[in-house]
Structure 1
Amino acid sequence: MAEPEPLPPDLSALLAGGLPRMTVRVALPDLRPWYGGNVLPGVWSFGAEAPGPHVAVVAATHGNEIGGAILLDRWLRAGLRPQRGRLSLVFANLDALSRFDPEDPTASRFIDEDLNRVWDEETLSGGRRSSELRRARVLRPLFDTVDVLLDLHSMLWPSDPLVLTGQPRRAARLALDIGLPPLVVADEGHLAGLRIIDYARFGAPDGPGVALLLEAGAHWETATVETMEAAGARLLRHAGMLPAAEGPAPASPAMAGPPRLAEVTRTVTARTPGFAFLRPYRGGHVVPHRNTLIALDGEEEIRTPHDDCLLVMPSLRALPGQTAVRLARFVEDQVET
């Protein structure tokens, strides 16, 4: 794999504890027309006469990741309807999304806790209360009817676009079939809690549904929204909900090439406030040699466990308990489709 593009100069400040410059280059439209929904608050669901799967496209699981909300607004204003089956468009964390402020764009990730860490049965059915748990409990009955789910996300730190599939092989097969973006990562999730794609309906080995998490690119960039739309449209075509494309969609260099599957071999969770990479790695970087030192977590050395180690979404300011990076190996024989 080619050496990734160099990072912007301001990211070098991270090694001294700084933050990257954050510029919002997309405008969040007026979403108030969609807050009421037609089946649940913030959820618009449309059925076709022809039978088919129930596909859900989910935006703003994190309220500051506005690209997906921009896309759903675009689709709703265009009157998008499925040719068969049922299509649900979900604005997930409405409360956090409604507080998005381009002058402080990271502040509205959630209200009380991460909506993408609460999807285990004990948490959903337990007595704990939060804004995000209330929303998860509202959405859960809908998700229990979904056959295919696409959760739209974006990234703070520089990285190539990718799809996370969790552990189910059926999810990896679907992501490879769609092929956009071409990097597919089968991962183990987070110690901090289960994501929507890990919810039992989608994440269990024998679950009836399948879910993908698209990391479409940098927060607040036009190209990220376009990647979401291209990948989402390809999924809907794969499900038979849209007519076949008339021609190939243009692709950026990061979106070109045949799909490849990588399997996570280690998920590195920061243990200390002093977790730091030795350099500001970009997501998608491949470290060629086993046992290469890439980070320090207090006195613990973080080294690559194998040759050709793919760094998946390194978080250059990971706090204790947060995922700092996933280390992955390419699977050359892929998953049978």
Structure 2
Amino acid sequence: MPDLEPWREGNAGLPGVWSFAAGTPGPHLVLVALMHGNEIAGAHVLTAWLRDRMRPLRGRLSFVFANLDAFARFDPADPTASRFLDEDMNRVWSAELLDDGGRGGGRPSSELRRARALRRVFDTADVVLDMHSMLWPSDPLILSGPTERGARLALAVGLPPLVVADEGHAVGRRLIDYARFADPRGTATALLVEAGQHWEPETVDTAAACARRLLRLLGVAAAPGGTEQAPRAARPRFARVTHAVAAASGAFTFLREFRGGEVIAQRNTLIALDGEEEIRTPYDDCLLVMPSPRAMRGHTAVRLARFAEAPPAAGPGGPAGGRA
């Protein structure tokens, strides 16, 4: 368990938010942990770097422990119960919800209150890395959201070596879908790394390695301890989600156990039943993105993605390379 007590107060006027500025202009990079209170890998990374007094070489570097209230209820004996208190914090990042202020909809949830408070941090960010982990077996991946600049930046980071572009979830907008990051005319960029399964040591290592790559790419800082100078992995694969399959019934069932990152070779392969409806792969070499064998009605059960030609990778002089 990461110890957040020394870092709970923050230094930026918000609990759990730490922000440091360099004397040299550069981008504002925000690293986010605990968007879900039981996904603790990113919190291990940030607490270690705070202990090591990491500071930016240029621009601004901010650390955000997002859902502190949910994390406070984390119980190793029942670790899935503290994902959130009232609602999923990674489904509330629409202007309609954030601007409402809790009026009219009767929805003043703990997560919405916290998201509204954190909004001022993200409204000044040039680049965000939101660090997550997964309940079900899956290869690690980076979700780049809907924009080309997100895909380019994720490919430039290159770790994990699978980048998936998608449009998000029907039930609500993620942080990477927040208008500032999803506007195709904008410049600010947000990535979401799914670093591995919950509570595994390797997941912490992957989250840290991804963040180190981003720090080095932007020239913001050199992360203490680690191998940010290590050779790059093999060229990352890039895929675009074409179908987000939401459970229409309470009886969504996969025909067998599927692992996230698995590729189904043949088109029209039956992979699941949603009540009486058959779910089949729409094309050859169909990538299964984070299949959830216990998807609730209305929630995403699996995303189907097609491998595509990767956009040219961005470098330090690309998007978000120069803002203070």
Q: Which residues in structure 2 correspond to 1:93-108 (within 5 Å)?
A: 93-108=67-82
Q: Which residue of 2 aligns with 1:117?
A: 91
> What residue number does 1:174 align with?
153
CA shift in 2, pair 1:246/1:320, >3 Å: closer
Instruction: Kindly state the Cα deviation for residue 107 of structure 1 after the two structures are TM-superposed.
Output: 0.2
The 1:231–1:41 alpha-carbon spacing in structure 2 relative to 1, beyond 3 Å, is same
Once the two structures are superposed, residues 19-77 of structure 1 have per-residue CA deviations (whole angstroms, 9 ceiling, x without a partner) of xxxxxxxxx13211111100111000000001000000000000000111111110100
Counterpart of 1:33?
6
Could you report, residue by residue, the CA deviation over 1:254-277 in whole angstroms, capped at 9, with x for unpaired residues?
xx5211110001000011111000
CA distance in 1, matches of 2:20, 2:228: 24
The one-letter code of the counterpart of 1:185 is V
Alignment of 1:29-178 (within 5 A): 29-39=2-12, 40-126=14-100, 127=103, 128-178=107-157
Unaligned runs of 5+ in 1: 1-27
* In the alignment, structure 1 residue 248 sits paired with structure 2 residue 230: yes
Say whether the 8 Å CA contact 2:142–2:160 is kept in structure 1. yes
Corresponding residue for residue 305 of structure 2: 328
SS in 2 for 1:234: helix
CA shift digits 1:79-124 (9 cap, x unpaired)? 0111000000000001001111000000000000000000001111
Distance in 2 (alpha carbons) for counterparts of 1:158 and 1:246: 27
Deviations 1:222-265 (A, max 9, x none): 0000001111011001110124967416x9xxxx5211110001
Q: 1:258 aligns with which of 212, 235, 255?
A: 235
Quote the RMSD (CA, aligned, Å).
1.3
* Secondary structure in structure 2 of the residue aligned to 1:215: strand
Q: Give the distance between the partners of 2:241 and 2:229, measured in 1 at CA.
A: 34
Counterpart amino acid of residue 219 in structure 2: G
Q: What amino acid is the match of 1:181?
A: P
TM superposition outliers: structure 1 runs of 4+ over 3 Å: 243-247
Q: Does 1:305 align with 2:273?
A: no
1:291 corresponds to 2:268: yes
| Alpha-carbon distance, 1:207 to partner | 2.3
Q: CA deviation at 1:336?
A: 2.6
Q: Please tell me whether the aligned partners of residues 11 and 17 of structure 2 are also in contact (alpha carbons under 8 angstroms).
A: yes
1:226 aligns with 2:205: yes
- Is contact 2:2–2:40 with CA below 8 Å preserved after alignment? no
The letter of the residue matching 1:302 is: I
Give the paired residue count: 304
Distance 1:247-1:53 versus aligned 2 partners, 3 A rule: closer
Correspondent of 2:255 among 253, 261, 278: 278
> For the residues of structure 1 that align with 2:18 and 2:156, how far apart are their CA atoms?
27
With the length of structure 1 as denominator, give the TM-score of the two structures. 0.88
Matched, 1:187 2:160: no
Unaligned stretches of 5+ residues in structure 2: 314-324
On the 8 A contact 2:164/2:241 being kept in 1, the answer is yes
Per-residue CA deviation, residues 100-149 of structure 1 (Å, 9 max, x unaligned), is 10000000000000000000011111123100000000000110000000
Letter in 2 for 1:219: H
Q: Distance in 2 between matches of 1:293 and 1:246?
A: 42
Distance 1:158 1:232, change over 3 A: same
Partner residue of 1:211? 190
Q: Which amino acid letter does the alignment assign opposite residue 84 of structure 1?
A: R
**Offset, 1:325:** 0.4
Aligned to 1:10: none
Q: Which amino acid aligns with 2:179?
A: A
CA distance in 2, matches of 1:95, 1:243: 31
Alpha-carbon contact 2:212-2:228 (below 8 Å) kept: no
Amino acid at match of 1:203: A
